[in-house]
Structures are given as structure tokens and as C-alpha cells.
Structure 1
Amino acid sequence: MTARRWVALPVLLAAVFVTTLDFFVANLAVPSIRADLRADDAGVQLVIAGYGLAYAAGLIVAGRLGDLYGHRRVFALGLALFTLASAGCGLAYDIGVLVAARVAQGAAAALLAPQVLTLLGALYQGADRARAFGWYGAAVGLAGVSGQVAGGLLVAADPLGLGWRACFLVNVPAGVAALALIGRLLPRTGRSGTRRDLDLVGAALVAAGLAVVVLTLVEGREQGWPPWTWWCLAASGPILGAFVRRQRRLAADGRVPLLDLAVFGEKGFAGGLVAVALLFGTSAGLSFVLALYAQEGLGLGPLAAGVMCTALNAGFLVASLRPRPMGAPALLLGLVLLYCGVAWGWGPYGVAAALLVTGAGMGWLMSPLISSVLSAVRAERAGAAAGVLGTVQETGGVLGGTLTGAAFFGALDGGWDAAAQAGIVVLIVGAGGVLAHSALRLRRDAAASAVARFHVKQECPADRP
């Protein structure tokens, strides 16, 4: 492993950090945005939701673009667009312009995410790959830890009188610096054949289908599931079904589909996606429960609640630097401890201790899980696999928050403790699914290793001279 490849790692991680940070950093700026731009509730909701919707809807298309035109080139395009969109957010003069710039930010983040995962796989192998993905998990964890804190500090510090605009403009110098290093540090990967066609109809279908699903799940929970949400969910099935049929028809005709459906036939890929969805759903659901229970159930102020919840992110951040394949038992143990802490009234310190264990389980698990899912896929399908993986992460998080929220509010008549326990039970079930997948994967790997040793022994018997 050359030193140059390790120098490339900060460039990739910087992209991961700022795009993850922008999921959270705008939350603390919402009151200032509302006052400064005289925005209504729907407008400020779209400032938050628009980013996530564009991100989720664009990931599969972005993965395919990397395969067609080169992962480094699409990474550079995404970083340039993200930098420009951040400047657009910071300079927005009304809420409509800000929402449009946030959607552009989400689309740019979608262009970046699959390329980062693919480039990490191309740059690092073996133990170096495990170490690189460990740092990837640490970057995600650090962005989660610092996101809302950074937003609050920037708004409070008001550098150069920018107020909330500083939350977005801070991305501009970092993006320009990273763009200057891409050509010298990142390798050229991706296909370079002559058939560089892009299925635009398929891109529109998958983007529309995913946007309908994510928007409905986010807004449906907020608005109490009015009839239109159920119609939208019903419509998403035919839209995504039409996308799948089109991809099959293109492949049968010898044309290049947007998503090579054969990627789901790669050994261990589909099962790994289920585990990833459960893990990210558990993380999102836990964040939802904590946000309400810490302040309403335990009576903590915003600052004290933030400090308590930081235990989760601190455990994740530290553990992600030394990932372990079997972090799932620690995740399940932490959630069980959290349930006991709520049920038996351990108070903020006991809950924080349980969150520390839970976060460590997530940190130990995330990097090996993502690495194993991507390593199961052939190199020519790496971009498509990374796009699907990112989509599953985002959608799994939305589903996890929705299901946990339904259980939480369904039990709220029994009090805040009962509501938190109901939500945590949903999370324990999800963690149990992740644990089952991890155990099966380890058993499969052990069996494959035993078969390999048997063949080696047959080919090289001990009594052979």
C-alpha cells in the first residue's frame, strides 16, 4: 500500500463527512431560517426533507453513472455540484431558492456516496480495506456527533454576520480544497467501453418510485397518515415494478440497463442488504425515541439531553476505529440494557451507559457489514451495488423511524416510559435480525474455509515427498 493511497483517504472521508453533516446541520438553523426568510411550516420542512428525498432518489442512478463514466469523474462532478449548491443555500434570498438549493445538495450527495464506497474498495485490499472502512465508519459517526452541535455553534457564533447561512457556506472552502486534490490522488475506475448509454426512462422511474416512498413515509407520520399517503404508497409499487420490468427487457435485448439486476444474485449480497436495512433502521429509530424520551420522559433540557445522547455517538465513534465482524451481540445487549434502564428507572446516567454499549455495537458492526456486502460483488458491478446499498441505507432509516414511531405513539397513552419501551422492543427485533445474519455469515465463512483447507490437504497430503 503506497503512501499516496493513504493520502487519498482524507479526500474521500471529507466528502462523506460533509454530506452526512448536512443531514443534521440544518436542523438547528430552522428557527433562524424561518425568521429571516419569513418561511411557513411547509417551507422549512422541505428544507430538511428535500435533501433526503433527492439523496435517496438519486443513488441508483449515481451508481450507474460511476460504472459508465468513471468513478473519479462522477465523484469530482458530485463534489463540484455539492460545493455550488452549498453556496446557493448560503446565498438564498427566499425559501423557494433555499429549498431548490437543498434539493441540488441532496442530488450532489447522491452522486458522491456510491463513488466513495467504490473508490475505497478499489484503493484498499485485505487488512488495509478493513482499516479504511473503519475510518469511513468513524467519519459517519463523527458527522453524526457533531452535526447538530456544529449547526448550533455556527448560528450562535454568527461569523461575519452570516447567521444560519454559515451552516452552508462552510462547505465551500472545504469543497474547493478537495477538488484541487482529486486528479492527483484518486485512481481512474469504472468501465471505459463504447456503450455509454444511460437509461433515462429507467432513471425517471426509479427516482419517482423511491421519492414517493420516502416522501410518503416521512410526511405520512408527520400528518397522521391521511388517505393520500396510502394512495401514494400503493402507486409506488407499480412504478418500481415498471422499472424492474424495463431493466429486464433492456438486458434481454442486449442493451445496457440502468441497474444490472444480476447484482442481486451475487452470493451474500441480498442477505447483506437486509442486514444493512435493519442496522440503519435501528439507528434511525433509536434516534427518534431518544429525541422525545430524553426531554419528555426524563425531563432533561435540550443541552442535557444532547449530552446524554452523545454517549451513543461516542461509543460508535470509538468502536468504529477497531471494527469487529460480530458487533451485533453488543448492539443487541445495549438495546436490552436500554430497555431495562427505561423499565426500571435507571435515570440519565444508566440510560447513557446503555447507549454507550449500543453505539459501540453499531460502530463495531457497520464497517465490516458494508465491506462484506460490497466485496461480494464483481468489480464491473461495484457502482451499481454501491448505489443500491446507499438506497437501502436511506430507505431502511426512514422505515425504521416510521415503524418505531408507530409503536412509540401507539403506547403513549400508558406514559412516556411505556412508549419508550414499545419503541425499543421494535429496535430489539431489528437488532436480532442483524445478529442472525452475522451468525449465518460467520458460519458460512467458516464452512467455506473448512472446504478450502480440505481441498488443500487432498492436493498436498502430508506423506507426499
Structure 2
Amino acid sequence: MVLASPAVRSPSRWLPLPVVLVAVFVTTLDFFIANVAIPSIRTDLAAGPAATQLVFGGYGLAYAAGLIISGRLGDLYGARRVFMVGLALFTLASAAAGTAPGILALIVARVVQGSAAALLAPQVLTLIGALYPGADRARAFGWYGTATGVAGVSGQVVGGLLMAADLGGLGWRTVFLINLPIGIAALLAARTVLPELPGSASGLGLAGGGRGLDVAGALMVAGGLAAIVLPLVQGPELGWPLWTWVLLALSAPLLTAFVARQRTRPEPLLDLRVFREPGFAPGLVAVALLFGGSAGLSFVLAVYLQDGLGLGPLAAGMVFTALNAGFFLASLRRGRPLPGALAIVAGLMLVREAVGAGEPYLIAAALGVVGAGMGLLMSPLISTVLAGVRRERAGAAAGVLGTAQETGGVLGGTLTGAVFLAAADQGWTAAAQSALVLLVVVFAAVVAVMVFSNKR
């Protein structure tokens, strides 16, 4: 399908949006859905805590490390083409994860999944930015934020339902295999409704021009992110061996060298001018904290509800329905993000008290408050971050926003999980309460960032 003008205002202009939002939904869902399966994966594949952390962290690390170069690939080869390749690869990797014979094969499949998700994400935002001008663009970005938020809060519920259904006796494998019919259907729809964007290799993404990839720059940013995340994922379980400290020490010079290289190249992987767009930089910090806190909450409660309270995957998922309900109801009201962040802080304090009581229904009620806060916060925050970005820098914004989301999610989930597991010898209740204190601090930081940015 080739459109002579993507900006033509007709009802059919909205047909591409559900297709790209399906990709956003499943790639975000896959970051969270694995949490509910971790206890079963650990038992079935005889995996230790460090290995199961990589099932979670390997996906997010590959996702974050590949986003910036994926935006440039969209510039060179067209957003539609790279989107289709990413969606096909994600579907195949999901099949590999669902049929993995051992923990190593599962980790490898998850890394490939994350790499494929990285191919998709910048193309989605580039397509939205190109296809929907003016008021339509803000509306489309609002739906993007809603899809991201719904996926983020639905992981536990969807995972619990799939594992309880135990289709074909597959157990935890269904949380990955469910992507096959979704991915195939989205691929068929994409072939029909996604337009080729004329000139997408010369101005709709990171830098345009098409002189080739900056391979050295890509290796610098991927290596710098890996040097931060990998030690933090593996270090606590392995007792912080020397290599973890060496990698952490290397992360700063690698990322500094990447930024310096981008300043001097005529066509950089990352157009650094995007950070000067109104509200983008503080919004980016808030998004990273939001996804980090969400990932941490998902991991802690998935383990606590099952291992601590003895609930099955379905019952644990049902507790999370309150989070979903709060999110859906609050997301119907479009408002300013700050009240949402404050509601999350209050809700997490209530969750901590409910954990102390050990009553699932009290935890569910408190999660309803957290979900309402997320519903008020997530969509307007992401929409605000993106809406002010110029069209020619949409690819840069896409890459940076996605990197912030995934890096924040991996680090938040890993660090919160480390606090949680380190305190597990005091009992699951004390461990969960310790982790929830950290999450309160994280979301209080979101509030501080918003207050500070509003005063500028």
C-alpha cells in the first residue's frame, strides 16, 4: 500500500494505528509477562536466581541497547520495512522461547526477542509522527501511551490466565507462544494497511541522508548500556566478581565517547538536539523512573504472592486485576500527570501496609489506587514528552524514549529485585516491605522531577 500523501484526512487514515499499537502492546507486555512465570520457569528448568533474572533482564537489555541503531535503520531502509522485519523476528523468537529446552536457550531467545522489539519501537513512533499531523498526532500519541500503559499493568493478569489455562499442558510456555497468532495476524494486516513513506530514508527519522550506519557509535552505546545493566543483573547473585566492577567502570567512558562522537558526525545515530525540545529531557527522566518502578513492583509482587502467600499463578494474576481496573477507569480521564504520580506514592504506601497484614484482598484494594495513579500519569506523560518534538527529530525521540523506558525497566526491576531477594532471609513479608519502601522513593522522585520541570 502506497499513499501519495500520509496527511490526507479521511476515516481510513486511522487504519494503520491499531496495527502499530498491537506491536507496542505485545513488546511491552513481554517485558512484564515473564515475571508471573518465573517461579515455574525456575522449577521446570532447574534455573538459579541469576539465570532467571537474565530471562527478565536479557530481554530489556537487548531492547534498550538496540533502539538507537534501529531508529537509524528505519531512516535508511524505511520505517515500514524495518517494522515488518522486526515483527517477523519477534514472532519467531517468541516461538523459540516457548519451545526452549533449557534455561540457556530461553535466555538466548529472550535476547533475540528484545532485539526484535528494538527494531519495532522507533518505527512505530516514526510512523505515527509521519502519518498523523496536528491534533491527530497528539491523539495518536495519547493512544500510544494508553497501549503502553495497559500492557504494563496487564502482564500479571494475562500471564496468570494463560498459565492457569495450561493449554496443551504447556504451562509457562504459553506466555511466549501466545505471541505467535498475534504476530502472524499483525504481519498480515501490516502488509495491507501500513503505507510506504516516500523519503523515509531522508528525513523522517534520526538524521536522514542515508550515508550508512555508524557501526562504531552503535557498538559504543550498546556496550555502554550492557556494561551498566549486566553487572547489576548478575552481580548480587554472583557475589560481585571483579568483571562486574570492570564493566561498570567502562560504562562511563563508553557512553561519553558515544556522545562525543555524535557531536562531530555529520549524520549521527542520535541527533542530540532532541534533548533541547521543550519538556523532553525532564519528561525522559520521569518516564525512566516510571517504568523502573512499574517493573520493580511487578517482579516483587509476582514472587511475593506466589512464594510468600502461596497463591497460584491465576490467583496472583487476579490480585493484579485491581491494578488494571484502576488504570482503565483513571485513563478515561485526561488530566495532568502530577496528580497521578502522587496517587501512586500514596497507593504504594497502602500496598506496604497490606503486605504487612498478609491479606490478598487488601493488597488488591491498594493496587487499585496504584493503578488509578498510573492511569492518570502514563498516557499524558508520554504524550507530553513526544508531542513537542519536531517531526524531523521523531526518530531520535523514539530511540531515546524507548531506551529510557527499557533501561529504566531493567534497572528498576533488577535493583528492586535485588533488595527484595537480599532481604528474603528475613521472610517474604519483610522482603516485600523493604522493596516497597524503595519503590515509594522512586515514585517520589517522579513527583520531584515534575514539580521541578513545571517551575522552569
Shorter chain as denominator, the TM-score bin is 0.7 to 0.9
Counterpart position of 2:147: 139
Amino acid at match of 2:413: G
Q: Secondary structure at the match of 2:210?
A: coil
Q: Secondary structure at the match of 1:353?
A: helix
> How far has the Cα of 1:245 moved from its partner?
2.0
Unmatched 5+ stretches in structure 2: 1-8, 203-207
> How far has the Cα of 1:352 moved from its partner?
2.1
CA contact (8 A) 1:221 1:402 kept: no
Counterpart position of 2:27: 19
1:234 and 2:231 aligned:
no
Counterpart position of 2:440: 428
- 1:101 aligned to which of 90, 103, 109: 109
Q: Secondary structure at the match of 2:320?
A: helix
- 2:14 aligned to which of 6, 9, 15: 6
1:81 and 2:89 aligned:
yes
Summarize the Cα distance change of 1:315–1:97 in structure 2 as closer, same or farther, 3 Å threshold.
same
- 1:284 aligned to which of 295, 308, 315: 295
1:405-444 Cα distance to aligned partner (Å, 9 max, x none): 4655676677655544443333233222322333455566
1:351 and 2:352 aligned:
no
Give percent identity, aligned residues only: 66
Amino acid at match of 1:335: L
Tell me, in whole angstroms, the C-alpha distance in 1 between the residues paired with 2:61 and 2:243. Answer: 18
Q: Which of the pair has the greater relative contact order for Cα pairs under 8 Å at 6+ separation? A: 2
> How far has the Cα of 1:272 moved from its partner?
1.0
1:398 and 2:433 aligned:
no
Summarize the Cα distance change of 1:158–1:259 in structure 2 as closer, same or farther, 3 Å threshold.
same
1:232-290 Cα distance to aligned partner (Å, 9 max, x none): 2112112212212222232xxxx211111222222221111111112112212322442
- 2:213 aligned to which of 192, 198, 201: 198
Matches within 5 A, 1:42-441: 46-90=54-98, 97-124=105-132, 128-151=136-159, 154=162, 157=165, 159=167, 166-189=174-197, 190-192=200-202, 194-250=209-265, 255-294=266-305, 303-326=314-337, 327-341=340-354, 345=357, 347-405=359-417, 408=420, 419-441=431-453
1:93-113 Cα distance to aligned partner (Å, 9 max, x none): 666554433322211111111
Summarize the Cα distance change of 1:76–1:314 in structure 2 as closer, same or farther, 3 Å threshold.
same
> How far has the Cα of 1:14 moved from its partner?
1.3
How many residue pairs get aligned? The number is 438
> How far has the Cα of 1:206 moved from its partner?
0.9
> How far has the Cα of 1:60 moved from its partner?
1.4
Q: Which moved more, 1:176-185 or 1:133-142?
A: 133-142
State the Cα RMSD in Å: 3.4
Amino acid at match of 1:330: A
CA contact (8 A) 1:330 1:357 kept: yes
Tell me, in whole angstroms, the C-alpha distance in 2 between the residues paired with 1:174 and 1:302. Answer: 22
> How far has the Cα of 1:184 moved from its partner?
3.9
Q: Which moved more, 1:121-130 or 1:320-329?
A: 121-130
TM-score, length-normalised on structure 2? 0.82
Tell me, in whole angstroms, the C-alpha distance in 2 between the residues paired with 1:117 and 1:80. Answer: 18
Amino acid at match of 2:411: L
Tell me, in whole angstroms, the C-alpha distance in 2 between the residues paired with 1:318 and 1:374. Answer: 24
Structure with the greater alpha carbon radius of gyration: 1
CA contact (8 A) 1:58 1:111 kept: yes
1:51-101 Cα distance to aligned partner (Å, 9 max, x none): 222112111111222234332222122112222333444555666554433
CA contact (8 A) 1:53 1:214 kept: yes
Tell me, in whole angstroms, the C-alpha distance in 2 between the residues paired with 1:289 and 1:113. Answer: 27
> How far has the Cα of 1:395 moved from its partner?
1.6
CA contact (8 A) 1:341 1:351 kept: yes
Tell me, in whole angstroms, the C-alpha distance in 1 between the residues paired with 2:91 and 2:158. Answer: 18
1:23-78 Cα distance to aligned partner (Å, 9 max, x none): 34445666777788x67547665444432221121111112222343322221221
TM-score, length-normalised on structure 1? 0.81
Tell me, in whole angstroms, the C-alpha distance in 2 between the residues paired with 1:131 and 1:170. Answer: 29
Q: Which moved more, 1:149-158 or 1:4-13?
A: 149-158
Tell me, in whole angstroms, the C-alpha distance in 2 between the residues paired with 1:100 and 1:295. Answer: 26
> How far has the Cα of 1:391 moved from its partner?
1.0
